[in-house]
Structures are given as C-alpha cells and as structure tokens.
C-alpha cells in the first residue's frame, strides 16, 4: 500500500485530546494531537501549549519501540509536528489498564496507599464511556454484551502484558518507573493492533529515585509544568525536544 502521498479528508471524530480525520485511502486515518488536556472524564479541560506536538512525537517514539519488539500497532508515520498517519482500526469500546505500582483509581477503589509495588503486574478492563465514568468491567461483561470475543480478550491481555514487558525495561533504563498505563486495541483486517496513543496523558511515569511525577497527574493534581515534565521524560528516553 502506497501511503506516501495520502490526502487529508473530512473530520471523522473529535475526542477529548485528538481529532481523527479520514484520508483518501479507506484503510488509513490521520490523528491530530491537540493541546486540549482533560481530566475527570472530560469534566475539566484546559489548553496546554505544545502538548499536541509533544505527545505526537512521544507517541511516535513509543509506537516504533513496540513495533521493533514485534507488537503490531496502528502507527504508520508522523506527517508533521502535530499529526500522524495510522491504520484505521475498528476499535473495541474497552480500555486495558496494566499496573506495576498502585496509583489513581485502584487506590480509591481498594483503600490502598499510592506507590506500593505490585508483586505481579495487574490487568484491568474498563468500559470506554465518559458519561458513565469509564466503569470497571470484567471478561464476562465483554462476552455477555458482545464487545469482544474470547480470543480477542485473550489477545488484548497478552498484548497488554507484552507491552508492559517491553516498556518497563525501556523506562527503567531512562531512570523512570512505569507505574501504570491504558491501552486501546482495535481490528485491522481481522487482526488485533494497538491503537490510540502511548503518551504521558495515558500512563503514569515517576522518577525512580525521587518519585517526581512526569505524567498527567501533574495536570490532575495541579502540580504545574505539565508539558515540561512530558518533555523531560521524553528527553530521558532519547527524544529530542
Ligand atoms: P477520547 O475519545 O477518549 O476523547 P481522543 O481525544 O484521544 O479520546 O480521541 C481519539 C479517538 O480515536 C478515540 O476514541 C480512539 O478510540 C480513536 N482511535 C484511536 N486510534 C484509532 C484508529 N487507529 N482507528 C480508529 N479509531 C482510533
Ligand atoms: N487512563 C487513561 N484514560 C482513562 C482512564 C485512565 O489514559 O480514561 C490511564 C491513566 O492515565 C493511568 C491509567 O490509565 O495511567 C490507570 O488509570 P486509573 O484507573 O488509575 O484512573 P485515574 O484515577 O487515572 O482516572
């Protein structure tokens, strides 16, 4: 497939952080990473200067690392500072979360302090539904409501743990703890691919020594220097900002 001269088409969907455009090739979409930053299921939204370009570059770097490790992703290439070309996936309405340390919703749900190392990485499914606050679901909900098949569920879990295995080491070498992250998967010609993004908007990254937060918790908790922290994490991983 020749994707070198793809033409941007109509706006297909405008999400909380990205806009998705059709292209003149049915199998490809363009993701535009905006500066919009949201928290609490879209209840708080602010514009953060340079966040779109930072996340576009961050995502490209991570997707390429995952491809190199043999994980199929939707990522094709960066088109410019703010946009990337991706394969058009039929997305599962599901978020896959992997946790290595406790933080965020699991602390509230189980009354557990932040920062505990989990003896085994933990996997959770959430339904992608902002109006309902992305409720936690399990395999049975997915099967009973027909959101994915048994083999899709197994593959999403396998790939999520595979992503964790690859990325924990990459972040560790950069002096960072990969605390947790969210992935979204979809089907491309019948095969499961990682979609959406891997950026500090959708994961938690802490400095290994000081536990300084370098992710969206800086926005959620009004700690300031949000984009600067994303860029600091990126630079440590070898990106140039
Ligand atoms: P949200 O929908 O959560 O507000 P975004 O603002 O990031 O999130 O919007 C991007 C949307 O594009 C998401 O709904 C995501 O599921 C969807 N998406 C991401 N990658 C692809 C892809 N390759 N093909 C189709 N849809 C995708
Ligand atoms: N996450 C995300 N989008 C969501 C929900 C969670 O990207 O809609 C990410 C979040 O940034 C964190 C991980 O998934 O890295 C686990 O999030 P958690 O369940 O703790 O929810 P939170 O308290 O962050 O909303």
- Rounded (5°) CA angle 94-97-102: 150
β partners of residue 86: 29, 75
* pTM of the predicted protein model: 0.98
Handedness of CA 102, 103, 104, 110 (dihedral sign): positive
Query: Quick check: 127 and 93 in contact, CB under 8 A?
Result: yes
Query: Quick check: 16 and 38 in contact, CB under 8 A?
Result: yes
Predicted pLDDT at 2: 58
Cα(84) to ligand 2 centroid in Å equals 23
Return the ligand number nearest the Cα of 33: 1
Cα(234) to ligand 2 centroid in Å equals 20
Dist CA 86 CA 29 (whole Å) = 5
**Is the shortest distance between the CB of 97 and ligand 2 below 6 Å?**
yes
Dist CA 203 CA 233 (whole Å) = 12
Q: Which residue from 211, 217, 233, 204 is spatially nearest to 99, judged by alpha carbons?
A: 204
Dist CA 109 CA 133 (whole Å) = 14
Predicted pLDDT at 1: 52
Residues whose CB falls within 8 Å of the CB of residue 16, separated by 6 or more in sequence, listed in order: 36, 38, 42, 45, 130
Predicted pLDDT at 81: 98
Tell me phi and psi for residue 134, to 5 degrees: 45, 65
Query: Quick check: 230 and 55 in contact, CB under 8 A?
Result: yes
Dist CA 147 CA 190 (whole Å) = 15
Return the ligand number nearest the Cα of 180: 2
Predicted pLDDT at 43: 87
Dist CA 159 CA 156 (whole Å) = 5
Residue nearest to atom 13 of ligand 2 (CA): 181
Predicted pLDDT at 4: 67
Q: How far apart are the first and last CA of the chain?
A: 32
Cα(180) to ligand 2 centroid in Å equals 8
Dist CA 170 CA 32 (whole Å) = 26
Q: pLDDT tens track of the chain, all 241 residues?
A: 557 689 999 999 999 999 999 999 999 999 999 999 999 888 899 999 999 999 999 999 999 999 999 999 999 999 999 999 999 999 999 999 999 999 999 999 999 999 999 999 999 999 999 999 999 999 999 999 999 999 999 999 999 999 999 999 999 999 999 999 999 999 999 999 999 999 999 999 999 999 999 999 999 999 999 999 999 999 999 999 9
**Is the shortest distance between the CB of 200 and ligand 2 below 6 Å?**
no
Q: Coil, strand, or helix at residue 160?
A: helix
Residue nearest to atom 6 of ligand 1 (CA): 15
Tell me phi and psi for residue 198, to 5 degrees: -125, 100
């Amino acid at each position: 497939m020749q994707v070198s001269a793809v033409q941007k088409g109509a706006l297909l969907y405008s999400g909380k952080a990205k806009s998705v455009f059709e292209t003149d090739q049915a199998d490809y979409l363009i993701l535009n990473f905006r500066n919009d930053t949201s928290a609490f299921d879209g209840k708080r939204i602010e514009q953060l200067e340079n966040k779109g370009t930072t996340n576009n570059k961050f995502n490209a770097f991570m997707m390429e690392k995952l491809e190199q490790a043999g994980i199929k992703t939707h990522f094709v290439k960066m088109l410019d500072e703010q946009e990337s070309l991706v394969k058009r996936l039929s997305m599962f309405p599901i978020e896959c979360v992997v946790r290595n340390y406790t933080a965020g919703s699991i602390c509230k749900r189980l009354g557990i302090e932040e920062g505990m190392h989990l003896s085994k990485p933990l996997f959770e499914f959430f339904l992608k539904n902002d109006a309902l606050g992305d409720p936690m679901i399990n395999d049975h909900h997915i099967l009973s409501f027909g959101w994915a098949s048994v083999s899709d569920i197994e593959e999403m879990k396998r790939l999520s743990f595979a992503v964790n295995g690859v990325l924990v080491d990459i972040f560790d070498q950069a002096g960072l703890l990969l605390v947790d992250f969210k992935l979204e998967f979809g089907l491309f010609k019948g095969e499961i691919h990682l979609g959406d993004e891997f950026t500090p908007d959708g994961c938690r990254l802490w400095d290994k020594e000081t536990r300084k937060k370098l992710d969206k918790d800086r926005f959620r908790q009004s700690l300031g220097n949000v984009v600067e922290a994303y860029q600091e994490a990126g630079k440590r991983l070898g990106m140039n900002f």
